[in-house]
Amino acid sequence: MTDFFSVVGKQRACRSFTDEPVTDTLVEQLLEAATHAPSAENTQPWVFVVVRDPETRARIGGITAAAWAGVGSEFSRPRLAAGLFADVERGATGGVSEAPVLVVVAADTTNCVEAALAASIFPAIQNLLLAANAAGLGSALTTLPTFAGDLSAILDLPGHIRPIAVVPIGHPAGPLGPPRRVPVAEKTHRERFGDRW
């Protein structure tokens, strides 16, 4: 395991995986980290569905590709840099669903106020991404599969469990390179807006 700052400093979305397996023990360790996230009123509304079955992964891959072909691609093309667009497209058209493990992260809508529901799920997802990275695995936060097609039907999710994201986990097929980020000084103000850091 590596130290926190080196883990967070190389966090990237991974959208292409080898078929090297990831054990249940390791998946559970990552989920343990996810559940240490904060949530409104400590409601812990997260629900995880760990998908390994190739047929189910292919079905999730199918609805992801359909969402991409439907509106995702057209919406994203003018918004994303060419390299990121190609990367997201690769993920949406098979790269993500080929990961040996897909963790579908859902929200229990019955135990958390609606206004705080998504905000009580994404910190857990971030913990999951960082934990995977610390364990030497690749992962990504993807929401495309939740937009179109029927993720709930594929997974038999009851009506009160809302899918929020699909996180592929596996060994990266290649190096991810450094993250591209705007420097802190360009995003930070001192005391009041306008007084640069």
Q: Is 84 in the site for ligand FMN (CB under 6 A)?
A: yes
Do 169 and 193 touch, CB atoms closer than 8 A? no
Q: Is 27 in the site for ligand FMN (CB under 6 A)?
A: no
User: CB-wise, 13 or 33, nearer to ligand FMN?
Assistant: 13
User: CB-wise, 141 or 157, nearer to ligand FMN?
Assistant: 141
End-to-end CA distance of the chain: 33
Q: Which stretch binds ligand FMN (CB under 6 A): 12-20, 25-33, 54-62, 153-161?
A: 12-20
Q: Is 143 in the site for ligand FMN (CB under 6 A)?
A: yes
Do 145 and 78 touch, CB atoms closer than 8 A? no
> Smallest distance, Å, CB 102 to ligand FMN?
13
User: CB-wise, 38 or 110, nearer to ligand FMN?
Assistant: 38
3-state secondary structure of 168: strand
Residues in contact with ligand FMN, total (CB under 6 A)?
Answer: 12
In what order do the strands lie in the sheet containing 101-108?
Answer: 46-51, 101-108, 161-170, 138-139
Q: Please state whether 191 falls in left (phi above 0), alpha (psi between -120 and 50) or beta.
A: left
d(CA 42, CA 37): 9
Binding site residues, ligand FMN, CB under 6 A: 12-13, 15, 84, 88, 91, 140-144, 179
